[in-house]
Amino acid sequence: MGLIKLQDKTFKLFLSEAQILAAVKSVADKISADYKDQNPIFVGVLNGSFMFVSDFLKAYDFPCEVSFVKLSSYQGLTSTGIVETLLDLPENIEGRSVIILEDIIDTGRTLKEIIHLFSRTNVKEFKIATLFYKSSVYRGEYPIDYFGLDIPDKFIVGYGLDYNEQGRNLKEVYQLNQTTMINLVLFGKPGAGKGTQAEFLKEKYNLKHISTGDVFRFNIKNGTELGTLAKSYIDKGELVPDEVTINMLQAEVEKNPEVAGFIFDGFPRTTAQAEALDAFLESKDMVINATVALEANDEVLIQRLLERGKVSGRSDDQDENKIRNRFEEYNLKTAPLKEFYEEQNKFYSVNGIGSITEITERLAGVIDSL
């Protein structure tokens, strides 16, 4: 099958069954070379890894044990980063070598929580193995010890991976087949849930989430030419020129030719930046399709941030006066941007209070209407 349809989306073939099984065998061979004289425990991460674990064990010809953990990914995508453990670690792992078997690793959010589980145990060692690895978006601090295929940041289904719980039983892997480019600017006060919603929207619509803060940190940490230039301004206490920021965003856009659009988060912050972003996108035959503001009552957000501060340890989430100052700064900066995008009939306001699913549905309603 070249194309398949799951619910409201069409997917095209990305990896054949033979390619997948070859990647599984590659992982099994690498781990066998290191652990054939031991009796390791393989821990699969449900739900997505069940096919990978099954075929991996068939390809692993040495003594071993297997168990599973299950985390609530719904909770794992909240802004607090809290993950609910639904199926805990096996009890007999003390002093043992443990290898985590993941179906796919992208940003590393869930992996961070899994490793946190093991940090409370006395295992001899634990390693991380994944069938699919999106190295271009991985921001985790832990090394990936074994992987089958390094793949682009595409939304894929099949071989255990799902779209709204559909497609896990497919023997092949399919990628989202979407030709309509959707580019969004996401606004929201601190605590409004922009990061949480961006995670859902990028998966649903095959978009790339570009957080200006993340891009700055990545470039500075890795000493890129643009990162070094940006740091030179920051070290002098000066604002980084818009041109430098735009060039960073351009590099991110050009690194992701396969996606169906972008979510810009944290940029633009001024009318001049919005004009610069429009000019850059025009040079790529692209436009901003919509700017969406997640609106929420200040008092609700303050309580949300104060609760988050208890977990995150961020000082600016623990002081109500600092929170209100951040809100005021947001109001001052966003007002002219709202006017700028309203003149283009591209500004949408979405109620940001409710369950994560309810808010996602409201955002999806805006995007689907474009």
Catalytic residues: 194, 269, 308, 314, 326
Residue 264, both tokens: 């810009």
Decide the pairing of beta strands 261-265 and 182-188. parallel
Q: Token digits for 225?
A: 């030419």
Residue 208: other Cβ atoms inside 10 A: 21
CA separation for the pair 24, 101 (Å, rounded)? 11
Instruction: Of 292, 270, 338, give the one whose Cα is nearest residue 193.
Output: 292
Question: Do β-strands 156-157 and 173-176 pair in parallel, antiparallel, or remain unpaired?
Answer: antiparallel
Structure tokens at 275: 């004009």
Query: Is the Cα torsion angle 337, 340, 344, 349 positive or negative in sign?
Result: positive
Computed on alpha carbons and rounded to an integer, the radius of gyration of the chain in Å comes to 22
Query: Two tokens at 51?
Result: 């096919």
Residues 43, 130: Cα–Cα separation, whole Å: 11
Q: State how far the Cα of 349 lies from the Cα of 292, in Å rounded to an integer.
A: 6
Half-sphere exposure of 72 (CA within 13 A, CB side): 9
